[in-house]
Amino acid sequence: MLQFDKVTLELGEAHWHFDIGFDTQGCYAIMGKSGAGKSTLLNLVGGFLHPAAGDIRWHGASLLPLPPHQRPVTTLFQHDNLFDHLDVRQNIGLGIDPALKLSAGNWEDVDAVLDDVGLAGYQSRLPGRLSGGERQRVALARCLLREQPILLLDEPFTGLDQETRESVTELMRTLIDRLRPCVLMVTHDIDEARALSAEVLRIENGRLIPQTVASRPQRP
């Protein structure tokens, strides 16, 4: 379980208090007004913000002593953060080693995850030759390759057109069902939340409030 134990944070005049647990294989949508603290919550998990009090634990062990790169976390952002001078294969390989010193087996893993996200045969393409949806699939592949048990999604589909967004969301849903990570997803789209998430939570007045459970629609 990912546990927020009486976590408090103050940034200027903004105050947050999180005291909640997330199931190990649960999928949660985090909603709320702009500035409510949705990304703040993810940054606490990722280690980019440190609480003033309280603890954040994964399976009972505190994450607070760990720097971001040592936490069992991977993040998919709204912006794909691809390097334009590196091809698709290399951009994904960064998820294993930032210096790209990969073994033959590592490169085979890269090719396998490309197939998982529907981009088999795209290995040598540069990001500039990809559509927005394809770029986000590359970024998703890089996240998956890291094989971390906590997946943070910070509005990753916001910049995509509706058709592409639905396609990538369906892909994400399939992969989440298969891999079963603990997922925290920031979104403003209730339909997106319902498509991916078993539970919707809203940040109001600095606290997380569970909403009505939004069951995933059954596949035909």
Q: 78-99: per-residue pLDDT in tens? A: 777 899 999 999 999 998 888 9
Q: Is residue 77 part of a domain?
A: no
19, 50, 99, 211 from 113: Cα distances, Å: 35, 33, 19, 34
Q: 152 has which bridge partners?
A: 75, 184
The domain in which residue 123 lies consists of 83-146
Q: What integer pLDDT is reported at residue 215 of this predicted model?
A: 45
Verify that 26 and 67 share a domain, yes or no.
yes
Verify that 108 and 216 share a domain, yes or no.
no
Q: 22 has which bridge partners?
A: 2
pLDDT in tens, 19-76: 999 999 999 999 999 889 999 999 999 999 999 999 999 999 999 999 999 999 999 8
Q: How confident is the model at residue 214 (pLDDT cuts 50, 70, 90)?
A: very low
pLDDT in tens, 117-162: 889 999 999 999 998 889 988 998 998 888 899 999 998 877 777 8
pTM beyond cutoff 0.75: yes
Helical H runs in 84-158?
88-93, 104-116, 132-145
Q: Are 60 and 7 in contact (CB under 8 A)?
A: no
Verify that 109 and 171 share a domain, yes or no.
no
Q: Is residue 141 part of a domain?
A: yes
Verify that 120 and 217 share a domain, yes or no.
no
Q: Is 82 helix (H, G, I), strand (E, B) or coil?
A: coil
- Residues 6+ positions from 216 with CB-CB distance below 8 Å: 173, 194, 195, 196, 197, 198
Verify that 124 and 169 share a domain, yes or no.
no
